[in-house]
Amino acid sequence: ADARQALSAWTELVDSAPWGSKATASADRQALDDDEAALSGALVFGELEHADTPGAAAASSQAAKHRPRDEVKLYDPVAAAAAAADSPSPGASGPAGADQAGGGNGLLTPDAARENEAWAKVEAATAALMARFGSAGSAGPHSAMAAPRSQGEQDRGLAGSADAEARRLCQTEGLLLQDAAHNRRLVSSLRAALRRGRATGSPGAIRVLDIETAPLSKAVELAAELGVNTDAADRLLRTARVVLRARRGLRDGDEAAVGSALSEAEALAGPGGGLGGVDSAAREELGLCQANAAYQRVISRLTSAMAKGGPVGVVGALDVSQLETAEVEAALTEAQAAVGGAADTPAVKALVETAHQLVRVRRLLAEGRWEAAEAAVEDALAVQAGSAASPA
């Protein structure tokens, strides 16, 4: 009777878990659910499959593929159950408790924090059930379910079919549920950290003082320590590391560091490049970083090109035989191809217009058309005056 009551209470808790809550509802949810299906495919809540079914075996195999059981970094269910017994709140037990995973560090919205607390309760209850029906003499992560037992030992240790059913459920569904709950909490924590202190503004006008790195750094460290068990979570962790490097580069004015982070982000997409390989939670921010880097390149390239190939000499004795426009024209072509709207910023527009005027003046001087060149210079000066009067 006790076994059936414990199993029934656990099943009700699983059924009430926030698998479809508003806290995690977003465009990213389908990708997370699809990826997690390989991990938790054996879970049929309300009517849980037995461990010897093909679906359960396949899911167990996929879980092992993601994270070998001898390298599990979640927690020892026996120790977790003991901690749960000593704690007034089930949500506080386990090494991936609400504070560690983001529920208590001020990073989550109230809805997301409540969801994480619900997952903590599921993890603690699962650990307690596994410890109850596991082998009391075993140790290590999930080892309560791993120790083989003879039929005689099982007959002596378990009372009836209810206990046997509980053991089957704990062996497969319990492990998968722990990993699924752990994954949901880890992902929500990383996403919350990515949303906080992100780079904002426009190319050439990033609001550097608003950038935060500490929350994201903490979330990345915790995720790396606890381990990820799905492809989606792994991609999110890789993305978070890239964003962290980019934020630090922007904050410190280190263009090389930002460029390196963007190169790594593009490498995640494979041969095609772009930002398709990063998690959608960070594409907007990394897109802004790309546009800002393009803005810096355009400004630097145009300025450098315009400083070369001009006339030499003094007033009354100018040498126009070495005038050159090819490099400026090449820089203008690059500016037109700038990504992320970098070419649409006021500063770049003004500089591009000045460069066009400069090319025109040099061509007129090379042709000996001095009066036309003088008129073109006046036009160029007017453009520069307008640029100086408007914010960059």
pTM of the predicted protein model: 0.60
210: Cβ contacts below 8 Å, ≥ 6 apart: 197, 199, 200
Give the pLDDT confidence of 58-68 residue by residue, as tens digits: 333 344 334 33
* Six token digits for residue 118: 């619900």
Give the pLDDT confidence of 193-230 residue by residue, as tens digits: 999 999 999 888 999 999 999 999 999 998 888 888 88
pLDDT computed for residue 269 by the predictor: 81
Q: Which of 103-107, 271-275, 356-360 has the highest mean pLDDT?
A: 356-360
**Could you identify the residue written with the tokens 């061509």?**
363
Q: 346-366 vs 370-389: helix axis angle to the nearest 10?
A: 170
* Domain regions of the chain by residue span: 2-195, 201-290, 296-389
345: Cβ contacts below 8 Å, ≥ 6 apart: 202, 203, 204, 205, 295, 392
pLDDT computed for residue 134 by the predictor: 53
pLDDT computed for residue 268 by the predictor: 86
Does pLDDT of 307 surpass 70?
yes
Beta bridge partners of 317: 314
